[in-house]
Amino acid sequence: MEPVGKESGILATSRASQTLQLLRDEFADLVPDCALLTAARTHPGRVRARNEDQYLVASLEHRLDIRDTSVGQESRMQRAAPGMVLAVADGVGGVPGGDLASAMAIDALADCALRNLPVLATDALNALGLEEAIEASLRECQVRMRAAANRKGLDERIATTLTLAYVQWPIMHVMHVGDSRAYLVRGGKLVRLTRDQTLAQEIRDSGAIPDRPGFEHVLTSAVGGSSEQLAVEARIVRLERGDKILLCTDGFYRQLPPAQVARMLSSATDQASLEGVLDGLMEDVLLGRAPDNITVVAAVVA
């Protein structure tokens, strides 16, 4: 039998120790000695009758159970570092069905994570594949949203924001549509990772000052809505131990000073303290008027 690639000049053979790296002993366990502690809270607020926010916290794990092989003499389990998906979605008000839109976006993300997200997404090629998979899933979701709205007798312009983080230590991929936000707390400072896709932000980007407060709530992009366009923004962050990740809807971040959020999240070091911090933050929001739904997802790199 002729070796594959002989005539084309493509290298067809190589040493087994190079080709079958996954079977070598040093690759038996790729799980890092760090943990991502997570907590989430959601509340309809004090004015809205219905909560149209949704959130997701999910782990994506990959393992290889070698039961028998001629390469090496032992059976063993190999695991890759688990990925973690965090997301918040805020159904757009103005037309009924915001809760349906946000639920469908979260469901589409969960399905994409299960079927398409690469477990190892630390290099540029996999990062591009990850972003393309999520964007394709959201575009398909928009079609299903309109069909669902028609079946239920709702306005087909139902829409939602979506902000998500996919963490594969030490890399975090942040993707974003609308005006929900992602933050990173490091060294006691709260750093915003997303740009609001609102008319007010576009005006500020042009060098002008928005002259109407309502422009802050006018979205220029969303999952769903009347436009076929979908402007998904993405960025990559390299995490460090002790970092805190925060995803939230505008009902949360518009009600609390950033310095307070940074100070309180900085004190979270384990699961119990993280839960306590989120309870405290939600209580502080609800002490005010809390005119919108409130959702927050937080994580600590421990």
Tens of pLDDT, residues 45-81 = 999 999 999 999 999 887 778 888 777 656 677 766 6
Cβ burial, residue 204 (10 Å; 0-12/13-18/19+): middle
Q: What is the pLDDT of residue 276?
A: 98
- In the chain, the N- to C-terminal Cα span, in Å, equals 54
Query: Is 209 part of any domain?
Result: yes
Among 150, 179, 220, which Cα is nearest to 90's?
A: 179
Query: Is 196 part of any domain?
Result: yes
Query: Is 18 part of any domain?
Result: no
Helix spans in 71-123 (H): 98-115
Q: Supply the DSSP string of 201-266, one letter for each residue.
A: HHHHHTT---S-GGGGG-BS--EESS-S----EEEEEE--TT-EEEEE-HHHHTTS-HHHHHHHHH
What is the pLDDT averaged over residues 176-185? 98
Among 295, 286, 166, 148, which Cα is nearest to 236's?
A: 166
Distance CA 133, CA 169 (A): 20
- Crossing angle between the packed helical segments 271-287 and 258-266, to the nearest 10 degrees: 160
Distance CA 277, CA 25 (A): 42
- Tens of pLDDT, residue by residue over 200-257, are 999 998 999 887 878 998 999 999 998 888 999 999 999 999 999 999 999 999 999 9
Could you tell me the two tokens for 199? 């008319």
Query: Which of 31-35, 131-135, 144-148, 204-208 shows the highest mean pLDDT?
Result: 144-148
Among 79, 46, 76, 12, which Cα is nearest to 289's?
A: 46
CATH of the domain at 285: 3.60.40.10
Which residue has tokens 């972003």?
Answer: 131
Query: Is 292 part of any domain?
Result: yes
Q: What is the pLDDT of residue 26?
A: 47
Dihedral angle, C-alpha 268, 109, 233, 127, nearest 10 °: 90
The answer to whether 51 and 13 are in contact (CB under 8 A) is no
Radius of gyration of the chain (CA): 22
Query: Is 12 part of any domain?
Result: no
What is the pLDDT averaged over residues 139-152? 96
- Tens of pLDDT, residue by residue over 3-35, are 333 433 333 334 444 455 555 554 445 556 678
Within 10 A of 285 (CB to CB), how many other CB atoms are there? 24
- Tens of pLDDT, residue by residue over 270-299, are 999 999 999 999 999 999 999 999 999 999
Domain that includes residue 158, residue range: 33-61+78-301
Query: Is 28 part of any domain?
Result: no
Could you tell me the two tokens for 247? 């995803």
- Greater confidence (212 vs 105) lies with 105
Q: What is the pLDDT of residue 2?
A: 42
Query: Is 23 part of any domain?
Result: no
Looking at the structure of the chain, the number of domains it has is 1
What is the pLDDT averaged over residues 125-141? 85
pLDDT band at residue 174 under the 50/70/90 scheme = very high
The answer to whether 138 and 162 are in contact (CB under 8 A) is yes
The answer to whether 121 and 167 are in contact (CB under 8 A) is no
Task: For residue 269, give the amino acid letter.
Answer: T
Query: Is 6 part of any domain?
Result: no
Q: What is the pLDDT of residue 12?
A: 38
